[in-house]
Structure 1
Amino acid sequence: MAQAHLKIDLEALAANWRALDKLSADTVETGAVVKADGYGLGVARVARALADAGARQFYVAQAEEGVSLRDALGEGPEIFVFSGHMAGDSDMLRDARLIPLLNSIEQMTRHFETLPGHAFGVQIDSGMNRLGLEPAEWAAARGIVIPQGPRMVMSHLACADEPDDAMNARQLAAFREMTQGLDTTLSLSATGGILLGADYHFDATRPGIGLYGGLPFADAQPVAYLNAPVIQIRDVAAGETVGYGAAWLADQAARVATVQAGYADGLIRAMGDNAVVFADDTPCPLAGRVSMDMLTVDVTHLDTAPDTLQLLGAQQGIDDLADAAGTIGYEILTSLGARYRREYS
C-alpha cells in the first residue's frame, strides 16, 4: 500500500485535556478549541473525544465550522464562534445554536437586530490589536451590552507562549480594568495562558494546541503519529546527487530511501534536508528537497532496509518537525493532507 498512515490517538488527546483542566481551579470551566477541522485531525472524532473527557465549551473560527461541530456533538455543549456575527451568518447561528463572540459595534448591531434574544459573547481587545472592541469602544458600549446578558466576555493573549514577556502582564492588567465589576463569565487564556498561572485563568480557559501535543504545553502526550511507506531503496555512488535541483550530494557511497509523502501531504518543502524521520528509534536525515509526493531519506546507517519511516510520533513531535521548516507546530498539524489513511485509537 502506497498510502501513508496517520494515527490519531484520541486517548492521548483526552489525557491532554484532563491535564490542562487540572492546572486550574475546579471553578474554572476548561473548554476546547477545535477550529480548522480539529487542528487538521478531524473535528467530529476529536470533539466527541473531548466531550467524553468532560469539555462542555467548544470554540471554532467561523460559523460554518460551528454547524459541522453541532452535527457531531448534538445538543448540550456550547459552541462559541471567534469571528463573531458576520454578514450572512444569522441562519447558521440560530439553527445550530452557536454563540458568536461579537468583535465590533457593527457586529453588535447586526446581532441584536437580526437575532434578538439569541445568546452571544463579546471579545474585547486587551492589546493584541487583532479582534475585539478597543477600550474606548467597550467603555461606550458596555452599559448597553451587559444588561443583555452576554454569555462570555473574552480577550486573547499575544505572547503567552513566552512566559517572561512583559506583554502578558500588560494585557492581564488591561483585561482586569476593562472587566472590573462584571458579573459574567470571563476568559483570557488559551494553552499558553493556562500555563502562566491562576491569575490568568478567570472563569473559563480555551486550550487549543496543547490538546494536540504542541508547545507551549511541554508535558503534552503526542496525538498524531505519521508513518510513510518506503517505495524504493537505491544505492547512490559517491559524487552522485539526489532529487530536484541536485540539492543533495553523496560525499561517499550511500543508500537512499524514497518515501511516499510530500508537500501535497502537508510536509512543508522548506524543511528540506534539515529534517529527520525515524526508523524505530534511529533518526534518518532527509536527503534533498521535499517534492510533491515523495521524500528521499539517507538510510545508509541502518542495518536493515525499512518498510516504513515515521515522521511524527513519540520520537518527534509536531514542533520538532516545525523547527526544521522554520515554522510552528500549528502549521505542521493543520497542513496534514487528505491522502493519509487515517486511524483513530
Structure 2
Amino acid sequence: MTAPDSHLAGSHLTIDLAALADNYRTVVQKAPTAECAAVIKADAYGTGLEPSAQTLWDAGARTFFVAHPQEGAKTRALLPEATIYVLNGLVGDDSSAEFDYYRMNALRPVLGCREEVTLWQDYCADRGESLPCAIHFDTGMNRLGLSLADAEELSTARQQAKPAFALELIISHLVCADEPAHPKNREQLEKFRAVRRLFPDVRASLANSGGVFLGPDYHFDLCRPGIALYGGAVVDGAPSPMRVVATLKTRILATRTVAKGQTVSYGASETTRRDSRLAIVCLGYADGYLRSASSSDAKKGAKVSINGHPAPIIGRVTMDLIIVDVTDIPADKARRGDWAEFFGSQIALDDVAKAAGTISYELLTSLGLRALRNYL
C-alpha cells in the first residue's frame, strides 16, 4: 500500500528547511560570543526530528537538546558526532538499564534534583567512568532544578573531592523571556550569576529563544533556542523576526449558501448574522488543529487565508472538517479545490495560537501525522 500523493491527501504541511537554517543563523548572529545549540524536542516542535536535526547540523549546530532519551537515541543515530543533552534527566526507574542506555547512546542527562545527581554519581563510580552530564539549577521556575543552597553544597563537595562524573554544563530556564521588561528576567539573571560563580570552570547556559533577544548578559557560553528556530515569535505581542518554517493548508471540499439566522456546526454555538456563503475544508482536530480555535457567538476564533483573502472560522472545529465564512471573498476566489492556509506566510502562527487561547509551541507540537508532509 503506497502513501497518498498530493492529489489524495486531505491536508498538507510544508516544512521549509531553508527557512529553518536561516533562523538558526539569525540566532547565531544575535549571540556571537556564545555557542548556539538547537532544541529539537517534541519531534523538532512538530516539524520532524530527522530532517530538522540534519538541517540544523548542516547550518552549524553541534549541540542539541531533547526531552527524552528515546529522542536522544534517534538523534544520535542520525548525528554520531553531536553533543546531545536530555532535558528531563533520568526519567526511568533508577535501574542500571536506563543509565546504560544513556551511556551506550552517548547522551548527557540534565540532572534536575539532588537524587538524580547522587544516582549519576553512583553509576559513574561503579563503572569507573567519568560520564558527562549537565545540572539544572532553579532560578525562579519552580519546576526542575536544584536550589542555590544545593549549588553551594555541590560546589564545596566538588572542591574537596573530584566527582565521579564530568560536569560539562550548568543551566537554568527563563520564565518570562518573551516579556523583555519583566523584572523576573533580571532577577533570574542575578541568581544564575550567583550559581555560575560557584562553578567558574563549567560552561553555563541560560538563554532560550526569548533570552537570546534579551541581550549579551543572558548569553553566557551556550544559548538554547527552540521556538525561534521554527518561526515562532520571540517577544510576546510583537511580530516574529524569524522566517516562516511551517505552513498548514487544505482544500475546500464544498461551498454552500446559508440564510441569516442559521446555526453552524456542532452545538449550534454560532449563528449566521447575514445571508452567508460558507466553505467546508478538509482539516480538523484529528490533524492537530486545535479545537479551541473554534468560533461562537460569544467568541471569535481563528482565521484562514484563501487566495490571499482572510476568512474567519465559523462554528466549532470538528474532527475532520472546518467551516469557514467566505461571504466577503469573491465567489471565483473561494471555490471547491482552492487552498485554505491555516498558518504560514499569510496567517501568522502566533495569531492562530492567540485566537485558540494558547501559544505557538502547543500548536506546532500538536500537529498530527495525517497531513502530507512536504519538505523544501
What is the CA-CA distance between 1:71 and the residue it aligns to? Answer: 1.6
Counterpart mapping for 1:197-276 below 5 A = 197-216=215-234, 218-273=240-295, 274-276=301-303
Q: 1:119 aligns with which of 123, 129, 132?
A: 132
User: Do residues 41 (structure 1) and 35 (structure 2) align?
Assistant: no
What is the CA-CA distance between 1:248 and the residue it aligns to? Answer: 2.5
User: Do residues 66 (structure 1) and 83 (structure 2) align?
Assistant: no
Q: Distance in 2 between matches of 1:322 and 1:35?
A: 19
3-state SS of paired residue (1:99): strand
Q: Distance in 2 between matches of 1:44 and 1:145?
A: 38
Contact 1:2 1:231 in 2 (8 A): no
What is the CA-CA distance between 1:182 and the residue it aligns to? Answer: 1.0
3-state SS of paired residue (1:315): coil
Contact 1:2 1:260 in 2 (8 A): no
3-state SS of paired residue (2:242): coil
**Which residue identity lines up with residue 323 of structure 2 in the other structure?**
T
2:17 maps to which residue?
10
Q: Distance in 1 between matches of 2:274 and 2:212?
A: 50
3-state SS of paired residue (1:196): coil
Counterpart mapping for 1:294-309 below 5 A = 294-303=321-330, 304=332, 305-306=334-335, 307-309=338-340
Q: Distance in 2 between matches of 1:287 and 1:227?
A: 17
**Which residue identity lines up with residue 260 of structure 1 in the other structure?**
C
What is the CA-CA distance between 1:254 and the residue it aligns to? Answer: 1.5
What is the CA-CA distance between 1:2 and the residue it aligns to? Answer: 4.7
Q: Distance in 2 between matches of 1:250 and 1:82?
A: 48
Q: Distance in 2 between matches of 1:134 and 1:310?
A: 46
Q: Distance in 2 between matches of 1:276 and 1:83?
A: 36
Q: Distance in 1 between matches of 2:324 and 2:87?
A: 41
What is the CA-CA distance between 1:85 and the residue it aligns to? Answer: 2.5
Q: Distance in 1 between matches of 2:174 and 2:364?
A: 21
What is the CA-CA distance between 1:317 and the residue it aligns to? Answer: 2.1
Q: Which moved more, 1:233-242 or 1:285-294?
A: 233-242
Consecutive unaligned residues of structure 2, counting only runs of 5 or more, are: 1-7, 296-300
Contact 1:64 1:92 in 2 (8 A): no
> TM-score, normalising length from structure 1?
0.96
Root-mean-square deviation over aligned CA pairs: 1.4
> TM-score, normalising length from structure 2?
0.88
User: Do residues 174 (structure 1) and 191 (structure 2) align?
Assistant: yes
Q: Which moved more, 1:123-132 or 1:38-47?
A: 123-132
**Which residue identity lines up with residue 280 of structure 1 in the other structure?**
N
Instruction: State how many pairs are aligned.
Output: 343
**Which residue identity lines up with residue 3 of structure 1 in the other structure?**
G
1:282 maps to which residue?
309
2:116 maps to which residue?
107
**Which residue identity lines up with residue 32 of structure 1 in the other structure?**
A
Q: Distance in 2 between matches of 1:104 and 1:249?
A: 53
**Which residue identity lines up with residue 230 of structure 2 in the other structure?**
Y
User: Do residues 163 (structure 1) and 180 (structure 2) align?
Assistant: yes
Contact 2:37 2:222 in 1 (8 A): yes
Any idea what the Cα deviations from partners look like across 1:128-183, whole Å, max 9, x if unmatched? Answer: 21111101111111233474441111111111111111111111111111111511
Q: 1:133 aligns with which of 128, 133, 146?
A: 146
3-state SS of paired residue (2:319): coil
Contact 1:24 1:201 in 2 (8 A): yes
Q: Distance in 1 between matches of 2:211 and 2:186?
A: 11
Consecutive unaligned residues of structure 1, counting only runs of 5 or more, are: none
3-state SS of paired residue (1:151): strand
3-state SS of paired residue (2:88): coil
Q: Which moved more, 1:107-116 or 1:127-136?
A: 107-116
**Which residue identity lines up with residue 26 of structure 2 in the other structure?**
A
**Alpha carbons of 1:145 and 1:42: their partners in 2 closer, same or farther (altered >3 Å)?**
farther
What is the CA-CA distance between 1:239 and the residue it aligns to? Answer: 2.4
Q: Distance in 1 between matches of 2:187 and 2:56?
A: 32
Q: Distance in 2 between matches of 1:239 and 1:202?
A: 60
Q: 2:105 aligns with which of 89, 96, 108?
A: 96
Q: Distance in 2 between matches of 1:85 and 1:237?
A: 59
Q: 1:334 aligns with which of 345, 362, 365?
A: 365
Q: Distance in 2 between matches of 1:132 and 1:64?
A: 22
2:356 maps to which residue?
325
Contact 2:307 2:339 in 1 (8 A): no
What is the CA-CA distance between 1:272 and the residue it aligns to? Answer: 1.1
Q: Distance in 1 between matches of 2:223 and 2:133?
A: 17
